[in-house]
Chains A and B, each alone.
Chain A
């Protein structure tokens, strides 16, 4: 059996695939963050908590309304997206003219409140959420056993990520949005309702986070802490990709998932820190991030 550095080649492929799966979650979440920062200039620290709320909404829908996974994939992002829009209208809109730090502090405080309330009612051991029946089981690929659900995660993330990129970079709506963030006064003068666009964009970014939450519910522990564990890594991913760049967030997300996966094979003790090491190196060499437009 061929080996690289003592690890059989087949084993390595399995780990790379798993890295891609984790990368899917990083990509989905960092996409929402990048959209919000790129379009709104808000550093949304509440992103992890909103991801968690998406998963919790899926759990509540299942246990109190009997609504399963597939409808929850649509309902939960809409519900949490609306919550996001309410947050934007009530709280965030007053901070756009101020330093980034205020938005960061506000959303951080929001995250603490949301997580604390969830923890009070749900505990921390986690809530059971089972795999949808149609996605159970898996296939033996020879080098590893790939659960169907995990393959589904990769496929959906790729579709959603590139769909979002396409919408923002290649459609008229996206063009209007990008123009509105660069020069809101001019765009307003042209008759476009800029505040409403901003609200909807924040709602969309939040809905992406909630969508990732529903996807995570069957395989990761649905617990109030699930967001805070992930959010720091996701921020590192966004910084590496470039704070305003959508494509950067997508590529960094998948890429760093693979890097983390490889670290888990060769030096697993470092697997929770390798992404930050990469971030430090990238910031030293290219402060704007790998794909960043802003200096």
Chain B
């Protein structure tokens, strides 16, 4: 009898020792995005594919980690988003939410995540307030923000001679942040802002606002909007003879799927700043092939948002393994701020105290139709902005997490 007990105890002991070596970590990630409206082609199912790819790649290298990805459509509505996020956090055991385009939605989710101590890895929204006055300890802002766009695109255009601006602004948090940041850059570089008009989001007809822009006689019409709004404004601008009248558009936030939808004839010459382009190097090209297979829909291009979902999710998972668990959102985010992440999409990314992810930015110009060698060959690289110059200086953000 005693032999049996000793035998069982020995067996139990080895099993416990064995399990301690391969500690199982379970992580559940939610991709909350715009599946059907104006940002769907720049985020949406492409972001979900990117997250799935990140989960698969990470699990391959870490057999003791199980990553599950869920997704939902927030329809660009903060109330819908907070409802989904609350259910995900409280009922479905989701540890981290990623993507979240539409800054008003992103800002609304931040207190929810803080209260429930979950993590947010934002790749979709633009407002620089996310790492500025509204920053919190549970949020990491990947990919881009309005300050980076204003500094990259705005400065380049003013230096090129575009010194009078008229803004057509999407009337919500993102548009106003982008207009504010770009106006500051224009004025700081010797330019003037002649006027601005606020347009409801997801607007299909810009003729009235383009007319106002024409009457302002500004050299540059700054489009402080994105996705379907930008595409519509540029298309209708061609119809109303904006270029013939000597004015130029500044697309302050443009993605590769938008350029594809516009066509090179309408989009040629547009200059803008992004942090990822599918055709930059062998690493990005190889990833795009894999993303395309995962996305499984013909003729799609990955945007920098989608690349950011992949990169940010991988970084988050590395931090989760370093901490040992995904349950404490703030602890994982704090860990991310001490680490440095390398991937073929963004190069090296570090996370600052205010939650801002820093990596290099690139000034691109859209090719002329005769310069393009194929359906996805859209951009030429005009300049590279190193990581430490591309984003707003830490002390200027007004983030309470930044000491001193």
**A residues at B contact (CB < 8 Å):** 8, 11, 14-15, 18-19, 21-22, 119, 123-128, 131, 138, 144-145, 147, 149-150, 219-221, 223, 225-226, 229-230, 261, 264-265, 268-269, 271-272
Contact = CB atoms under 8 A, between A and B. Distances in A.
A219 B200 CA distance: 19
30 contacts: A8-B215, A15-B208, A123-B297, A124-B228, A125-B41, A125-B42, A125-B260, A125-B261, A126-B228, A126-B261, A127-B261, A128-B263, A144-B211, A145-B241, A149-B239, A150-B207, A219-B239, A223-B228, A225-B37, A225-B228, A226-B204, A230-B204, A265-B212, A268-B171, A268-B197, A268-B199, A268-B208, A268-B209, A269-B171, A271-B199
Interface stretch (B47-55, B230-238, B330-338, B351-359): B230-238
Interface residues of B, number: 42
What 8 A-B pairs have minimum CB-CB distances, sorted nearest first?
A125-B41, A125-B261, A264-B208, A272-B200, A124-B40, A18-B207, A147-B239, A128-B263
A219 B236 contact: yes
A231 to B, nearest CB: 12
B240 A125 contact: no
Most buried by A among B171, B202, B228, B232: B228
B300 interface: yes
B36 A128 contact: no
Given A21-B207, A147-B239, A221-B204, A125 B231 contact: yes
B211 A221 contact: no
A210 to B, nearest CB: 18
Nearest to B197: A268
Interface string B174-212: 000000000000000000000001111011110111011
B311 interface: no
A11 B239 contact: no
B211 A14 contact: yes
Contacts of A125: 40-42, 227-228, 231, 257-258, 260-261
Contacts of B199: 268, 271
A272 to B, nearest CB: 4
Nearest to A267: B198
Nearest to A136: B239
Contacts of B200: 269, 271-272
Contacts of B239: 131, 147, 149-150, 219
A132 B37 CA distance: 28
B228 A221 contact: yes
Contacts of B41: 123-125
Interface string B246-274: 00000000000110111100100000000
Given A15-B208, A22-B207, 12 more contacts: A8-B215, A14-B215, A123-B297, A124-B37, A124-B228, A125-B40, A131-B239, A144-B211, A147-B239, A219-B239, A225-B228, A230-B204
Given A14-B211, A123-B300, A126-B231, A269 B36 contact: no
A269 B257 contact: no
B375 interface: no
B61 interface: no
B171 A124 contact: no
B127 interface: no
B171 A229 contact: no
Given A123-B40, A221-B232, A268 B198 contact: yes
A223 B231 CA distance: 11
Interface string B130-173: 00000000000000000000000000000000000000000100
B225 interface: no
Contact of B240 (A22, A126, A147, A226): A147
B325 interface: no
A147 B235 CA distance: 13
Contact of A11 (B202, B215, B235): B215
B234 to A, nearest CB: 11
B245 interface: yes
B212 A128 contact: no
B97 interface: no
Given A125-B231, A149-B239, A219-B236, A225 B257 contact: no
A150 B171 CA distance: 26
A221 B231 contact: yes
A145 B228 contact: no
Contacts of A265: 208, 212
A134 B262 CA distance: 22
A220 B212 contact: no
B38 interface: yes
Interface string B29-44: 0000000111011101
B103 interface: no
B71 interface: no
Interface string B295-316: 0010010000000000000000
Contacts of B215: 8, 11, 14
A221 B258 CA distance: 12
Nearest to A123: B41
A264 B212 CA distance: 10
Given A124-B36, A261-B208, A271-B200, A221 B245 contact: no
B208 A269 contact: no
Contacts of A18: 207-208, 211
B349 interface: no
